[in-house]
């Protein structure tokens, strides 16, 4: 009868094993990876794509998630299958370099343009204060006072 507690312990340990394995498994998520890779046929991120190739790419990612692969491991596996173009963030060579250069260039141009505009505007007297309104004549001041009293009633 001593075997009964041992069997219970073994059963408990076996029952806990999947949970332990699950805890050790890096939880990569499909929606997370979908936003970081491209559907190569559609030319849009995978999370926006609905094509047979996109479905196959999703299946591949899910298989890797089931095998406990991390996000970076899955992305590396995708690159080994589809090449670096599968990554949503393009490389920095050739025409793709425009992705990095253009925003910086636009920022510089915008800043330069704003500086030029401010200089041009101030040189034309755009920044001078508006002239003060002329003072009311005593008659106008009385009439205004009367009108205000009428409105307050």
Partner 1 sequence: MIRLRSPVMLAALAPALGLLDLLAYGVFVNQPERGIDAALAAGRRPAAPDLRLPRLGATQPVSLNAWRGKVVVLNYWASWCPPCRDESPLLERWQKKIAPRGGTVLGVDALDVTSDARAFMRRYGLDYPMLHDGDGHSQRRFGLTGYPETFVIDRRGRIAAVQRGTVDDAFMSRSVLPLLEERS
Q: Does 44 bind partner 1 (CB under 8 A)?
A: no
Q: Does 142 bind partner 1 (CB under 8 A)?
A: no
Q: Does 82 bind partner 1 (CB under 8 A)?
A: yes
Q: Does 83 bind partner 1 (CB under 8 A)?
A: yes
Q: Does 100 bind partner 1 (CB under 8 A)?
A: no
Q: Does 113 bind partner 1 (CB under 8 A)?
A: yes
Nearer to partner 1, 29 or 81 (CB): 81
DSSP-derived secondary structure for the chain: -THHHHHHHHHHHHHHHHHHHHHHS----HHHHHTTBEETTTTEEGGG--SHHHHHHHHHHHHHHHTT--HHHHHHHHHHHH-GGGBSS--SSGGGGHHHHHHHHHHHHHHHHHHHHHHHHHHTTTTSPPPPPPPPPHHHHHHHHHHHHHHH-
- Measure the CA dihedral 47/78/61/35, to 10°: -20
> Judged by CB under 8 A, which of 81, 97, 100, 141 binds partner 1?
81
From the list 8-16, 20-28, 118-126, 134-142, the region that binds partner 1 by CB under 8 A is 118-126
Nearer to partner 1, 92 or 147 (CB): 92
Nearer to partner 1, 59 or 147 (CB): 59
C-alpha 96: how far from chain center: 19
> Judged by CB under 8 A, which of 15, 18, 31, 52 binds partner 1?
52
Q: Does 117 bind partner 1 (CB under 8 A)?
A: yes
> Judged by CB under 8 A, which of 9, 20, 76, 106 binds partner 1?
106
């Amino acid at each position: 009868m001593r075997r009964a507690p041992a069997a219970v312990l073994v059963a408990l340990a076996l029952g806990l094993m999947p949970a332990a394995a699950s805890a050790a498994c890096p939880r990569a998520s499909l929606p997370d990876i979908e936003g970081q890779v491209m559907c190569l046929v559609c030319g849009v991120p995978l999370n926006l794509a609905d094509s047979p190739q996109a479905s196959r790419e999703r299946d591949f990612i899910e298989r890797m998630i089931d095998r406990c692969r991390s996000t970076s491991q899955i992305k590396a596996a995708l690159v080994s299958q589809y090449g670096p173009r599968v990554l949503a963030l393009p490389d920095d060579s050739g025409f793709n370099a425009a992705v990095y250069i253009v925003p910086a260039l636009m920022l510089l141009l915008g800043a330069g343009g704003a500086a030029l505009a401010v200089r041009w505007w101030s040189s034309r007297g755009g920044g001078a204060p508006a002239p003060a309104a002329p003072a009311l004549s005593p008659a106008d001041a009385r009439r205004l006072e009367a009108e205000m009293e009428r409105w307050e009633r």
